[in-house]
Every structure is written in C-alpha cells, then in structure tokens.
Amino acid sequence: MKRFFKSSWWAIMYTVLLTGFTAFVLLDTFVIPKAIQSVSTVDYTQNSNATGTTDSGIYTANSYEDENISITITTERVDDTQVYIADIQLQSIDYLKTAFAQNIFGRNIKQTTSAMAEAHGAIFAINGDYYGFQDYGFVIRNGILYRSKARSGNDDEALVIYEDGSFEVVSENAVSADALLEQGAVQVFSFGPSLLCNGEINVNENSEVAKAMTSNPRTAIGIISPLHYIVIVSDGRTNVSAGLTLYQLAAIFKEQGCETAYNFDGGGSSTMWFNGEIVNVPTDGSKLGERKVSDIVYVGY
Amino acid sequence: MVYLMIGAISKARMPGRFVTNVYSSGIATLTVGSLLRGIFDIAGTSSPYQPVFVVAGVLMVLVGAVCYVAAQFKRL
C-alpha cells in the first residue's frame, strides 16, 4: 500500500485537484448565487404620462379591465398543445414592467414567477429571458442598464421595447446598450430568436434554441401596434401537450396579427400568472411545478 | 496509444515518470474541459473558467512533449 501511494502520488494528487476544481466550476455556474447590483430605487416612471396608481379594475376569470389596462386571456388547442394567449392593451408603456428575483441583479439568483408577481403587485406576469443564466447579453430593465456585454456569434438578437411602446429587434453586436438607452429603450431582453419580422415568420421549421428539444413549452411576446401586445405561453413535455416548435409558435403570432414577435426562455421556465393564479401547467418534463427563474415581465401599477 | 507508437516506430526510450505524469494530466484536463463544455452547451450557459482547462491542458501536454524530446536529445 505504501509502495502504491509512493508511486502514484502524482495521479492521486492531480485527480483530487482536477475533481475539486471541476466541482467548483459546476457549482459556480449552476448553484452559487452572485449578487451584482440591487435594483435601483429610482422610479423611471416619475416623469411619465401614466396616471394610474392602483389596481382598481374589474377582474373576471380570464380578463382584467380598467381605464389604463386591458387584458384578455384565451386558451386554444394548437398542434396537440395547450396554448394560452394574452391580449394586452395599455395606455402607457409604464404599465409594462420587469422585475428581478429578490430584487437583485446577479447570477444564480432565482425565484418563482408567481412569487415575483405577487411581490410586485402584478395583475399579469410571465417569465422573462432568464438573464441570470448567462454572463453576456444586454440587460436593460425599467429604463436602467444592468449589463452591456454583447453576446458573440449569430445568436445575438435582442428585443428592445421603447418608451413609446414600440418594439425593435436588434443585433447586440451592431449597436451598444448605451446607445439603445439614449434612443429611449426602457426594456431590453436577450434570448431570442426573433419569431416575426414585419409580419413575416423569421424562423424555419428546424430552428431551435441552442441544443434544446424541438417541441417545448414556450413563452414569447409579440406586438400588433404600440401598446397593443400579444403574449403566448404554451404547455409541453406532457402527455396532454406535446409542446411547440419555434415555427409553430411564430405561426400563432402571425395569425394573431403581430408585426414583431420574440421568443423568451421556455421549457421548464414557461409560466403565465394572472390575478394570483398560474394559468398554464409549468413542467420541466420530469415533474410538474414552477421553475425558479431570474426575472419576469409583468403588467401592473 | 502514444507510448505504443513510440515503441513501435522508433528506437527512442519510453518516457520517464515525470513526462508520463505531466502529459497524462494534460490529456485528462483537456478531456474534462471538453466534457464541461458539452454540459454548458446543452444547458445553454457558459463559465469564465472554461479557458483554464484548455490553457492548463495544452501547457501540460506541451511540457511533457518538450521534456521527452529534450531527454532524447540529451541521451544522444
């Protein structure tokens, strides 16, 4: 035994070192929370035209209506999949907001969509682009710039929502985040791809996000006209719902009359929340239930 | 495989313990780095520590190879 250790000390030591470092890298990537910045308390709506301050509208099982916000949720069956379509009309872009998990911008900081929605008094909410899973990609939320590092390669399409309520899909390597802020961007999301461009489908039947499966639960947002949005969340990975391909998802947006549509994080992250209830059936394929995510997009005061 | 090739095609002596340890460690590091890269690609994320595996692995393979060649020249 002594002879074995004497002759193999390098192999043993290096194996321990390599295993330890690998474990650290995995924990650093997937587990260890890293807070980078707390959410600014500066309210970007201070100088806005928004007049509403409270949620005092009329709720039904699948709609909400007040003088500033109108939301109607319909459920359809498309391609063996349960699809939830929210038609949202706003009087001001200030009622379309975003929030971070635990109100902290950082990596591996997560919370369920429903918890974030309730914490912010949302009327309606969906999961966002899960920015916290990446170290690159523009992050501008509620008019504040949190990350200006662009993604590399061809998958660098970002969705920009401007203060007039319009959408634009830009390439992160063609424009800086600071320039977008100067141009009036209030929200910038970094996931993609762009599903519709000028009313035409922008993906093909083989398109997919990175190495994901082709049929998945999905979350996406589209625009019919400034301040008139369509949000779609679909189920998937269950016996009841097969899931949608990006092409099928884009086709639904086109049918709804959208000009531009953009894909958010899907799979187990896909969650639609309305008036205190989860609308869809979130699952990662192995178990039902919400996944903790890093951010949400919500409608509220 | 490398050692079999050395024995089969040349009259060079087999590498010593140090060269073997360093070279094998480099190969192991590159292999683990590749596995991690695959995991991150499937998950759709990345780590700032990924280049450490490549740099360390390549360096150790090069050190092992250079030391082996230097030992052969010294013997000559």
Q: Which pLDDT does position B72 carry in this prediction?
A: 81
Whether B44 sits inside 8 A of A135 (CB atoms) is no
CA A144/CA A185 separation, integer angstroms: 9
Q: Which pLDDT does position A115 carry in this prediction?
A: 97
Q: Which helix (H) or strand (E) holds A159?
A: strand A157-162
Which positions in chain A touch B44 (Cβ < 8 Å)? 133-134, 209-212
Q: What is the pTM of this model?
A: 0.86
Which residues pair with residue A74 across a beta bridge? A85
CA B61/CA B71 separation, integer angstroms: 15
The SS3 assignment for A210 reads coil
Question: What phi and psi values does residue A145 have, to the nearest 5 degrees?
Answer: -85, 125
Tokens of A63: 């709609």
Q: Give the residue from chain A lying closest to B45, CA to CA.
A: A134
Region A268-277: what's the mean pLDDT?
A: 96
Nearest-5° Cα angle at A233, A30 to A102: 40
CA A231/CA A274 separation, integer angstroms: 12
| Model pLDDT for residues A157-200, shown as the tens digit of each residue | 999 999 999 999 999 999 999 999 999 999 999 999 999 999 99
Whether B25 sits inside 8 A of A210 (CB atoms) is no
The SS3 assignment for A160 reads strand
In 10 A of CB A11, how many CB atoms?
14
CA A149/CA A143 separation, integer angstroms: 17
Q: Which pLDDT does position A42 carry in this prediction?
A: 46
Region A132-156: what's the mean pLDDT?
A: 93
Would you place residue A43 in the very low, low, confident or very high pLDDT band (cuts 50, 70, 90)? very low
Would you place residue A45 in the very low, low, confident or very high pLDDT band (cuts 50, 70, 90)? very low
Contact A243/A208 with Cβ under 8 angstroms? no
Region A52-60: what's the mean pLDDT?
A: 77
Comparing CB atoms, the residue among B28, B42, B45 nearest residue A29 is B45
The SS3 assignment for B48 reads coil
Long-range CB contact pairs, A273-276, < 8 A, 24+? A273/A113, A273/A114, A273/A117, A273/A122, A273/A124, A273/A125, A273/A126, A274/A62, A274/A64, A274/A71, A274/A73, A274/A86, A274/A123, A274/A124, A274/A125, A275/A59, A275/A64, A275/A123, A275/A124, A276/A118
Cα-Cα end-to-end distance for chain A: 71
Q: Give the residue from chain A lying closest to B50, CA to CA.
A: A25
Residue labelled with tokens 């391609």: A79
Whether A135 sits inside 8 A of B46 (CB atoms) is yes
| Model pLDDT for residues B9-36, shown as the tens digit of each residue | 555 566 688 889 999 999 999 999 999 9
Predicted confidence (pLDDT) at residue A50 exceeds the cutoff of 60: no
Which positions in chain B touch A135 (Cβ < 8 Å)? 46, 48
Whether A133 sits inside 8 A of B44 (CB atoms) is yes
Tokens of A145: 């710039």
Predicted confidence (pLDDT) at residue A216 exceeds the cutoff of 50: yes
Contact B48/A26 with Cβ under 8 angstroms? no
Predicted confidence (pLDDT) at residue A67 exceeds the cutoff of 90: yes
Distance from CA of B57 to the nearest CA of A (A): 11
Q: Which pLDDT does position B16 carry in this prediction?
A: 82
Residue A178 DSSP one-character state: H
Q: Which residue has the higher pLDDT, A283 or B76?
A: A283
| Model pLDDT for residues B29-51, shown as the tens digit of each residue | 999 999 999 999 888 898 999 99
Which positions in chain A touch B23 (Cβ < 8 Å)? none
Instruction: Find the DSSP H helices in chain A.
Output: 2-30, 113-119, 177-182, 246-256
Q: Look at residues A197, A137, A207 and name the one whose alpha carbon lies nearest to residue A167.
A: A197
Nearest-5° Cα angle at A124, A86 to A92: 85
Q: Which pLDDT does position A298 carry in this prediction?
A: 98
Would you place residue B3 in the very low, low, confident or very high pLDDT band (cuts 50, 70, 90)? low
Whether A11 sits inside 8 A of B29 (CB atoms) is no
The SS3 assignment for A223 reads strand
Neighbouring residues of A194: CB distance < 8 A, sequence distance ≥ 6: A157, A159, A169, A202, A203, A260, A261, A262, A263
